[in-house]
Chain A
Amino acid sequence: MSRLTFRHAKNGCMTFLMGVFTLAVLIPLILIFAHIVRMGISSISVDFFTQIPRPTGETGGGMANGMVGSALLIFLASCLGIPVGVFGAVYLAEYGGSRISTVIRFAADVLAGVPSIITGMVAYALLVVPMKGFSALAGAFALALIMIPIVLRTTEEQLKLVPVTLREASLALGVPLWRTTLKVTLRSALKGVMTGVLLAIARIAGETAPLLFTALGNQFWSGKLTEPIAAMPLQIFNFAISPYEDWHRLAWAGALVLVTVMFGLSLAARYFGRTKQSGL
């Protein structure tokens, strides 16, 4: 066999191997999604989206309170996590000295790596114990802690991608630095920032552990932010470990809804990420 044919053969083998590994990455995702659809689709009904769970023994019921609870928790967490993350990133990218920036960046990376159950325990100690009760606020706080480093780092990266020449163009026109930051730099990076925010939301939407000691979960509608509140991942967890066949079916349906929402968020994030080069 000549050297050239050997090289061609080697090239073919390697390309084939890479194809196999690519498939290996896709297979688990497809399996998970297919399995959840198969198990959950039959329990998806109007009731599932409009009813709260029924007591054991009664059939039917849904996860409406969990969905509203999750949406509320995500909204509250975003109210804290997005501004802190975005403005922290603006400070790092535009104003910060090199030493303090390094410290903050390192702290954010460590925070991102903290197991989420620990984050839940911190929120428990800081909010649940002093307030003498589990609450939506404590749950949202724990989720915000998870959100902040993700938003911070992606926003900072996006701000750094904005060309210096644009900032200078604005400054040279006699526009103050803060207006330049707001209207030129941040505006240019907006789509990238949106991508980071959506990914952070997708991440916290499925978090269960930080809610265990904070939001706790609730079989009913909760009236106040200072009361325990239901959340999709918690409800799925509780139903899945229960001994009742009916609740298992609801858990599967809940998993299907949650995965679909996260899939949608990731698609939206990709959409913003894809077009971020074309516009400013």
Chain B
Amino acid sequence: MNHKVLLYSLNVHFGATHAVKGVTLAFPENSVTAIIGPSGCGKSTVLRAINRMHDLTPGARVSGSIALDGTNIYANNVDPVAIRRRIGMVFQKPNPFPAMSIYDNVISGYKLNGRIRRDDADEVVESSLKRVALWDEVKDRLRANAMELSGGQQQRLCIARTIAVKPEVILMDEPCSALDPIATMKIEELIEELKEKYTIIIVTHNMQQAARVSDVTAFFYLGELVECGDTPMIFTKPEKRQTEDYITGRFG
């Protein structure tokens, strides 16, 4: 299997804090990789390094390299904006644009960047919403404000907005932690379908979720990568003692 994204001795510092320590890790193409670990282990920090979200955090420093299809996205001649178009992100709390309608939220990636032709917009909206299984629920009220949707619907809308700009990689930062079990189940089913087209990297607190949705699991502890392997292996026969302790609930 191809490696879509490759971290090589990645370090992230926030001022004096060394948050991610020398992580080398490969994310296979068209599959779901889960990053698990206790709070503060640096898993979200790793995720946000992959689409250069730390660029705007004062005091944040990223060293080492992250390759997307073999090109280092931290090289000097790389435009972070172009990278973020190829690597989309879904956040912990659903964050649709509150002043926009459902329709406008889906095409927000285009609208904020300029204009989009009306016919194209209609098509993008329909196909994106169908892909996240939201179309039937909202097709009669596309002009309604996005904030009228339930939390789970809002999160699916955010995923629709992300795939509307046709990324190659989707980063998900605990996408279900603010949702109820039924909404969570829908998102998990969606992740399963999306991996046919996209490479998905998901940070999660929920180990059952990691076991259910991912093909590969990486376990982080105190800013270091402890272990990475096929998900069934990690959850049944982990190599490291720390991993076993964590997944059996002895700490974390």
Contact = CB atoms under 8 A, between A and B. Distances in A.
A184 B112 contact: yes
Given A98-B58, A280-B98, A172 B89 contact: yes
B53 to A, nearest CB: 7
Contact of B109 (A97, A163, A175, A177): A175
Contacts of B112: 170, 173, 175, 179-180, 183-184
B97 A169 contact: yes
Contacts of A180: 112
B165 A177 contact: no
Nearest to B89: A172
A172 B161 CA distance: 10
A130 to B, nearest CB: 42
B95 A168 contact: yes
A280 B58 CA distance: 26
A176 B91 CA distance: 18
Interface stretch (B62-70, B80-88, B241-249): B80-88
A163 B91 CA distance: 13
27 contacts: A98-B58, A166-B95, A168-B89, A168-B95, A169-B95, A169-B96, A169-B97, A169-B158, A169-B161, A170-B112, A171-B53, A171-B56, A172-B51, A173-B112, A173-B113, A173-B162, A174-B81, A174-B165, A175-B81, A175-B109, A176-B81, A180-B112, A183-B112, A184-B112, A188-B99, A280-B97, A280-B99
A165 B95 contact: yes
Contacts of B161: 169, 173
A169 B162 CA distance: 9
A172 B53 contact: yes
A165 B91 contact: yes
B85 A174 contact: yes
Given A179-B112, A179-B113, A180-B112, A171 B84 contact: yes
A174 B109 contact: yes
B21 interface: no
A178 B126 CA distance: 29
B93 interface: yes
Given A169-B158, A173-B165, 13 more contacts: A166-B98, A168-B89, A168-B95, A172-B84, A172-B89, A172-B162, A173-B112, A174-B82, A174-B113, A176-B113, A179-B113, A187-B99, A279-B99
A279 B99 CA distance: 6
Contacts of B231: none
A174 B96 CA distance: 15
B199 interface: no
Interface residues of B, number: 26
Nearest to A183: B112
Contacts of B11: none
A140 B27 CA distance: 61
B153 interface: no
Contact of A168 (B53, B81, B85): B53
Nearest to B108: A173
Contacts of A163: 95
A34 to B, nearest CB: 42
B149 to A, nearest CB: 15
Nearest to A170: B112
A147 B81 CA distance: 36
A177 B162 contact: no
